[in-house]
Amino acid sequence: MANPIIPDKSVVTTCAYCGVGCGFKAETHQGRLVRMTPWKEGKANHGHSCIKGRFAFDYYISDDRVTTPLIRASIDDPWTLVSWEKAIQHAASELRRVQAKYGTKSVGAISSSRCTNEEIFLVQKFARAVLGNNNIDNCARICHSPTQFGLSATVGWGAASQHFDSILQADVIMIVGANPTEGHPVFGSLMKRRVRQGAKLIVIDPRRTETVESAHIKADVHLSLRPGTNVAVLDSIAHVIVREKLYNEAFVRARCEWDEFERWTEFVSSDRYAPEVIGPTAGLDPELIRKAARLYASGPNSAIYYGLGVTEHSQGSTGVMCLGNLSLACGMLGREGVGVNPLRGQGNVQGGSCLGSWPHVFSGYRFVTDDEVRGSFEKDWGVTLDAEPGLRLPNMFDAALAGNFRGMFIMGEDPVQSDPNQNHIIEAMRQMECVVIQDLFLNETSKYAHVFLPGSSSLEKDGTFTSAERRVNRVRKVVEPLAGYQDWEIVVMLMNAMGYLATYDHAGQILDEIARLSPAYKGISFELLERIGSAQWPCDEAAPEGTEVLHREKFPRANGRGTFMLTEYVPTAERTNDTFPLLLTTGRILTQYNVGTQTRRTQNNRWHSEDVLEISAHDAHIRGIRDGERVKVSSRFGCTELKAKFSERVGSGIVYTTFHHAETRINVVTSDLSDWATNCPEYKVTAVEVVKVASEQTAKRAAKKKREHVVTA
Amino acid sequence: MLWSELRDLKDDVDFGTPPRAGAEVTLTVDGHTISVPAGSSVMLAAAKAQRNIPKLCATDTLEAWGSCRLCLVEIEGRSGYPASCTTIVAEGMAVTTQSEQLQRLRKGVLELYLSDFPAEDVDGGWSEFHTALAQGGVTTHPYEPVETHLSTPVDVSNPYFLFDPAKCIVCNRCVRACEEIQGTFALTVQGRGFDSKVAAGQDQPFFESDCVSCGACVQTCPTQALIEKSLFEGDYIRG
């Protein structure tokens, strides 16, 4: 029979993939998920979807899903299947043993942007109230920590100033270091709609992405800059705006710190930021920089959307500040159609950021060193909390190698695969005496773990996600947890086993605690979300149903004014030379998601079964590499092998790959440099050399040919 | 303005054409007075007045197209039977959505569609087309088909959804969704008249075309010609 199954139940929930936060109706038949259809009332997607959210959900019933807790004495032993009770007791006693032996601060916790707000909040509570230290970090460290830092410094809050729909009122759209049609497809479609209606498009990206040119879309200006020169180019754009007096003086006088503005104009108008100077540095035609500057300043509504191409640099925070500066100077904040908006990679990076999963701040970015703030948490939680900021994720690994960090609780993260300089991390992980992992699958990191607690997918639990537009969306349980417990319940069990009494009847009570202790979430509750669907923070008495556009009247800074940061361009220490003449930059593709934990377990693999190295035909030719051949990519840090693919998307001198497959091990190659302010790794710039794998002989011939080519060129 | 088109959508209602923002225009639909923003279609006004008009090629996430001829209405002072999806409301307009003549016209349209639809899949189907058949009281057709699309092969190349051309009524919704909503422009209708058919890319299998599998076409298809494979136990067998 060709008649399709009629779903018998439909639950409205939120997509677990990227930061767009699409609403979906999860339809089940006899308790089994049979399809996901986009929810027309989803505020971010309005009934639209992408391949990941709509179709790639089978990972949750993948054969290799772990559904029984596992323990082992050493990482060289095989895993033993145990009961939940035994696993929790073992994890608890081992973490306490490590603390007794090496000190309270010898353990820490990592949460993930894959988890719900409630789980993220609970894990940081676990670190602070149960482990008794502030060693808590999350994966936003390696993607959007510079957003938090850079935007806070200029406009006051490290979050998107707009809602996604705001783009429908933009006249000029500037996309910096982002590729929305691949990374944030539903937003990408919205952006393309607006461009087809006539909005102008500026794209700043080393690659000629689909955002630059696709059906009925062509960027008015594409600045295909050399990786690592963001700050120089953005300063040069500012230079043109200031020199040509294209800034919005009335806005700056009314809303910003004028003295700081004057200091900034003096700084950027320096000749060293003239397009004629920066152009050659960045590999750009100076006129294009001028054109971009004039277009952005002319508006009337210009909106900036940016991604990891801005943040994952040694000057990531500076790059974000540049964007804050530009939008303030041109008065592109505080209304619909304008703004500065980070496009966040994971479903809940914004939640991970704002709910205190950081070693130095509680939820709402309030410092652990602040006695009053800490006091309010101590009162609510009934324990004394540590006033000293804890270790950041990379510092935890460093401390492990230094000998004073020996235990970790990792929820929904795979740092061994996703973090930079893999060999260093593996060495650090080997030093640990107790690593507790809570995840759906065994992964690269669990190779170094002692306890594995089988977690629940977002289809199996209740909670909320906060999307990239600050929207708190409800996650609803669609099917029963395969391993028996929702993730937050597992953390509660662990807290209780370690002697801290935590009692929650349902996830909504954790959200109530978040609301009680976090000003921006004050008005948010399951009841509110049930009633109005979703709400963007800040949500409080003044905005009982949330806030779509930030900064309408003032900026959330002490004096209510926006300010300007001096953003000196400092070239990254990672540079090309004769040995490593190419720049490797990394990114993502539509059909795969992040390190691929979910999508690689679905049919999405049919589209992208392996990561390939995009290389220009020119660079390939002088190395004797043919399209589709396996090549070795090596950097100062390590090497890996993958298949070369000729591409017109990258210019000469640049190679590009994705990081979706563990086998690629591309993070063995990426550098250990990181953002000066936040330690966000510099994934986007690594000097490499690419040689054909075939034979050393061939490689030598190719090198000779290259030398000859350089001589004659 | 696109703004209200997206933000005023409701999950449990299909207004038939996108909501609009504008000054209120008042009209009557089957005697019920209703005010809707200028620029709205008669179909949307009728939906707001709870006088739903049958439709197949119209949905409120896409601009009106006017090809299925099921949404015909009578408008006082106008000749003929205009399609309510492509007719814009006007002040004082008096619309009739139900009459014997309209019933007859709609039945004729549905019978024609039914004559080129797999007969075995009429019972038990649950698409918008099946609903329209039920509402129109159409279970059979008087035609002796000479030529049909019933033996056109099914495209199962995409891992997630299939396309069964035998169930396609060429209403263009998938093509428009690919353009207007997704912005990929991977689909088209090629050929004329009886030969017109939905084609992906350069008339390729979906998987090999520039389709990005966003699902917008599957979501909007009114006949389940484009449908999720996950809704079938085992392989898809037509009929």
* Annotated domain spans of chain A: 9-61, 70-139+347-461+478-517, 145-342, 582-712
Residue A32 · residue A175 · CB < 8 Å: no
Q: How far is A3 from chain B (nearest CA, A)?
A: 6
- For residue A701, what pLDDT band results from cuts at 50, 70 and 90? low
Q: Which residues pair with A635 in a beta bridge?
A: A688
The mean of the pLDDT values for chain A is 91
Instruction: Say if residue B75 is in the same domain as residue B111.
Output: no
CB-nearest to B237 from A2, A48, A603 is A2
Gap between the Cα atoms of A342 and A43, Å rounded: 18
Instruction: Say if residue B80 is in the same domain as residue B29.
Output: yes
Quick one: which H or E segment has residue A317? helix A316-329
Q: What is the identity of the amino acid at A144?
A: H
H helix count then E strand count, chain A: 23, 28
Interchain proximity B213–A185, CB inside 8 Å: no
Q: How far apart are the first and last CA of chain B?
A: 44
Q: Which of A121-130, A675-684, B108-117 has the lowest mean pLDDT?
A: A675-684
- Tell me the residue ranges of DSSP E strands in A165-309: 172-176, 200-204, 213-214, 217-218, 221-223, 302-306
Give the pLDDT confidence score for residue A574 in this predicted structure: 87
Give the pLDDT confidence score for residue A349 in this predicted structure: 77
> In chain A, pLDDT over 90 holds for what percent of residues?
75
Over 90: is that where the pLDDT of A147 sits?
no
Mean pLDDT calculated for residue range B202-229: 96
B chain contacts of residue A18, beta-carbon cutoff 8 Å: none
Question: What angle do the packed helices A145-154 and A316-329 form, to 10 degrees?
Answer: 40
Q: How far is B128 from chain A (nearest CA, A)?
A: 14
- For residue A141, what pLDDT band results from cuts at 50, 70 and 90? low
Q: Is residue B66 one of the residues assigned to a domain?
A: yes
Q: What is the identity of the amino acid at A36?
A: M
Level-2 CATH architecture, domain A582-712:
Beta Barrel (2.40)
Q: Is residue B77 one of the residues assigned to a domain?
A: yes
CB atoms within 10 A of CB A113: 27
Quick one: which H or E segment has residue A310? helix A308-311
> Could you tell me which of A484, A390, A411, A550 has the C-alpha nearest to residue A121?
A411
CATH number at residue B198: 3.30.70.20
Q: Which residues pair with A80 in a beta bridge?
A: A71
> Could you tell me which of A392, A303, A306 has the C-alpha nearest to residue A344?
A306
Over 50: is that where the pLDDT of A712 sits?
no
Over 80: is that where the pLDDT of A381 sits?
yes
Tokens for A180, please give them. Answer: 């929305």
For the segment A199-225, what is each residue's pLDDT rounded down to a tens digit?
999 999 999 999 999 999 999 999 999
Instruction: Say if residue B33 is in the same domain as residue B114.
Output: no
Residue A346 · residue A114 · CB < 8 Å: yes
Gap between the Cα atoms of A489 and A481, Å rounded: 11
Q: Which residue of B has its CA nearest to A605?
A: B159
Over 80: is that where the pLDDT of A516 sits?
yes
For domain A9-61, the CATH superfamily is ADC-like domains (2.20.25.90)
Give the pLDDT confidence score for residue A144 in this predicted structure: 72
Give the pLDDT confidence score for residue B234 in this predicted structure: 84
Stretch 173-232 of chain A: residues touching chain B, C-beta under 8 Å: 185, 188-189, 192-194, 196-197, 214-217
B chain contacts of residue A197, beta-carbon cutoff 8 Å: 2
> Could you tell me which of B84, B72, B57 has the C-alpha nearest to residue B176?
B57
Instruction: Say if residue B208 is in the same domain as residue B168.
Output: yes
The mean of the pLDDT values for chain B is 94
Instruction: Say if residue B7 is in the same domain as residue B87.
Output: yes
- For residue A695, what pLDDT band results from cuts at 50, 70 and 90? low
Instruction: Say if residue B93 is in the same domain as residue B30.
Output: yes
Over 60: is that where the pLDDT of A696 sits?
no
For the segment A110-120, what is each residue's pLDDT rounded down to a tens digit?
998 889 999 99
CB atoms within 10 A of CB A297: 24
CB-nearest to A2 from B160, B212, B236 is B236
Q: Is residue B141 one of the residues assigned to a domain?
A: no
Give the pLDDT confidence score for residue A599 in this predicted structure: 81
- For residue A711, what pLDDT band results from cuts at 50, 70 and 90? very low
The CATH number assigned to the domain with range A145-342 reads 3.40.228.10
Give the pLDDT confidence score for residue A682 in this predicted structure: 80
Q: Read off the DSSP letter of residue B158.
A: S
Task: Output A507 or B124, whichever has higher pLDDT.
Answer: A507
Stretch 8-37 of chain B: residues touching chain A, C-beta under 8 Å: 9-11
Gap between the Cα atoms of A649 and B226, Å rounded: 33
Please tell me whether residue A217 adopts helix, strand or coil conformation: strand
Structural domains of chain B, count: 3
Tokens for B60, please give them. Answer: 């409120």
Gap between the Cα atoms of B197 and B203, Å rounded: 10
Instruction: Say if residue B109 is in the same domain as residue B87.
Output: no
Instruction: Say if residue B119 is in the same domain as residue B26.
Output: no
CB atoms within 10 A of CB A25: 20
Over 70: is that where the pLDDT of B168 sits?
yes
Q: How far is A371 from chain B (nearest CA, A)?
A: 44
Residue A518 · residue A380 · CB < 8 Å: no
- For residue A418, what pLDDT band results from cuts at 50, 70 and 90? confident
Please tell me whether residue B81 adopts helix, strand or coil conformation: coil
Q: Is residue B156 one of the residues assigned to a domain?
A: no
Give the pLDDT confidence score for residue A173 in this predicted structure: 98
Instruction: Say if residue B67 is in the same domain as residue B21.
Output: yes
C-alpha neighbours within 13 Å on the C-beta side of residue B136 = 30
Q: Which range marks the domain in which residue B91 is found?
A: 1-98
CATH number at residue B64: 3.10.20.740
Residue A373 · residue A366 · CB < 8 Å: yes
Question: What are the percentages of helix, strand and coil residues in chain B, rounded to 5?
Answer: 30, 15, 55
Task: Output A354 or B193, whichever has higher pLDDT.
Answer: B193
Choosing among A6, A27, A39, A40, which should be mutated to test the B contact, i.e. which has the most B CBs within 10 A? A40
B116 touches chain A (CB under 8 A): no
Place of tokens 């979430």: A521
Residue B203 · residue B212 · CB < 8 Å: no
Q: Which of A88-97, A402-411, A413-422, B195-204 has the lowest mean pLDDT?
A: A413-422
Task: Output A713 or A479, whichever has higher pLDDT.
Answer: A479
Residue A413 · residue A27 · CB < 8 Å: no
Instruction: Say if residue B177 is in the same domain as residue B94.
Output: no
Q: Alpha carbon of A668 to those of A77, A179, A309, A640, A656: distances in Å?
A: 25, 24, 19, 7, 15
Measured at the CA of A672, the angle between CA A667 and CA A673, to 5 degrees, comes to 130
Instruction: Say if residue B35 is in the same domain as residue B68.
Output: yes
Q: What is the identity of the amino acid at A566?
A: L
Give the pLDDT confidence score for residue A413 in this predicted structure: 87
Give the pLDDT confidence score for residue A505 in this predicted structure: 94
Instruction: Say if residue B78 is in the same domain as residue B110.
Output: no
Max mean pLDDT among A585-599, A691-705, B5-19 falls in B5-19
The CATH number assigned to the domain with range A70-139+347-461+478-517 reads 3.40.50.740
Interchain proximity A48–B216, CB inside 8 Å: yes
For the segment B169-188, what is each residue's pLDDT rounded down to a tens digit?
999 999 999 999 999 999 99
- For residue A700, what pLDDT band results from cuts at 50, 70 and 90? low
> Could you tell me which of A56, A7, A31 has the C-alpha nearest to residue B232?
A7
Does residue A556 have a cis peptide bond before it, meaning omega lies within 30 degrees of 0? no
Residue A49 · residue A22 · CB < 8 Å: yes
- For residue A713, what pLDDT band results from cuts at 50, 70 and 90? very low
Q: Read off the DSSP letter of residue A355.
A: T
